[in-house]
Amino acid sequence: MHGRVFILVYVDDLIVAGERFAGVEAIKSGVAAKFEVRDMGEVKNFIDMKVMRDKKTKKLTLGNPGHIMALLQAF
Amino acid sequence: MDTCTPNKTAMASGVQLDKTGQNLLSDGNWYAELVGSLLYLSTTTRPNIAFAVGVLSRFMSGPEQDHMRAAKGVLRYLRGIDRLRVMYGGNEALQGYADAGWAGDIDGRRSKTGLIFTLNGGPISWASKRQSTVATSTAEAEHVAAAMATEEALWLRKLLLALDVDGGAVPMGEDNQSCLALVNGPETTGRNKHVHLADHMVRDYQARGEILGQAADKPDRLRPRRHLVRCTPLDGCFT
């Protein structure tokens, strides 16, 4: 009933994705019961990468525009 | 540098950087910091600078002015493609590409492997690595590259199988005809042991139906692997 759920862990950042929303919610509440967590909602940023989803066209894009601009300004 | 003129490529082809021990930078940390930042970008959303970053990272100890100039050249390139993003969409199966740049390194004459895997229209795994042994021909360098890509293909295939995605043998694009001939035909010649190993490995996994060597001709629309072994203008998998 929860379907499959995928958890991506990078140090202390987690992405939870699943076939059904109920599965994602179950993992989130399970982790929150044991650890102090902050629910950031839908993924927008992950390890400095900007994540954009277009649900209509089913496309996902990744970028680092802020990172490149910061580098250009620093050097 | 946020108002600089963009470069068309990450690193000019034909430019040979080496350690001369002259014109050392007074503050080498500055260089290390820049290359470190570029390295992060090359592993996240800019596979097309992987080759250039690989070259730059060889000069972390004792960076010189020429090296800094080259590193800033990569920044200029990034400025021109700042708005580009890696895009995934559709249902394209896993596809691998392998390529080699023969004896490009003037210090040790070792060749470079470039490999990239795409899934659902976007790059998911890539590398630009100096080969551990000297290849005496382009076919040999391509062979070693194909073996390195085969290892990655097997791991990705296992990962996908664990997620219940079975796309069959992973198609592997390879543009070196003699390399393909060796993978597809079991004749052996008097080659070195390490090439022999690479031969057998690629051939065996193809026989087991885990990978499938394919010709990737020059007009191939998606030629992302080229960026990982040398410097060419951008085309391919970016939006």
Would you write out chain B's pLDDT as a tens digit for each of its 239 residues? Answer: 778 888 888 888 777 788 888 898 888 899 999 999 999 999 999 998 999 999 999 999 989 999 999 999 999 999 888 888 888 988 888 988 888 888 777 777 888 888 999 999 889 999 998 888 888 888 888 888 888 888 999 999 999 998 888 878 888 887 777 777 767 766 655 555 667 777 778 888 888 888 888 876 544 444 555 555 554 434 433 43
DSSP run (H or E) holding B8 = none
Shortest Cα–Cα distance, A70 to chain B (Å) = 8
The residues with which B114 forms a beta bridge, in sequence order, are B99, B128
Residues 6 or more apart whose Cβ sits within 8 Å of residue A71 = B34, B37, B38, B75, B78
The two beta strands, B170-174 and B211-215, are parallel
Contact B88 A57 (CB under 8 A): no
Half-sphere exposure of A19 (CA within 13 A, CB side): 5
Query: In angstroms, what separates the C-alpha of A34 from chain B's closest C-alpha?
Result: 27
Q: Where are the domains of chain A?
A: 1-41, 42-75
Report ipTM for this prediction: 0.85
* Cβ(B17)–Cβ(B67) below 8 Å: yes
Among A58, A59, A61, A42, residue whose Cα is nearest residue A50 = A61
pLDDT for B219 equals 43
Judging contacts by C-beta atoms under 8 Å, the chain B residues touching residue A49 are: 44-45
Contacts of A2 by beta carbon, 8 Å cutoff, 6+ apart = A18, A20, A22, A23, A26
CATH homologous superfamily of B95-229: Ribonuclease H-like superfamily/Ribonuclease H (3.30.420.10)
Give the mutation candidate from B25, B86, B124, B164 for the A interface (greatest A CB count, under 10 A): B86
Q: Among B2, B63, B4, which Cα is nearest to B36's?
A: B63
Residue A53 distance to chain B (closest CA, Å): 10
| Mean of per-residue pLDDT scores for chain A | 91
Is A62 close to B86, i.e. CB distance below 8 A? yes
Domain residue spans of chain B: 1-84, 95-229
Q: Which pTM does this prediction carry? A: 0.84
Phi and psi dihedrals of B115, rounded to 5?
A: -140, 145
Contact B34 A67 (CB under 8 A): no
Closest CA to B64 of B24, B115, B19, B9: B24
Residue A71 near residue B37, CB atoms below 8 Å = yes
Which residue carries 């791991």 as its tokens?
Answer: B155
B1 vs A: CB within 8 A? yes
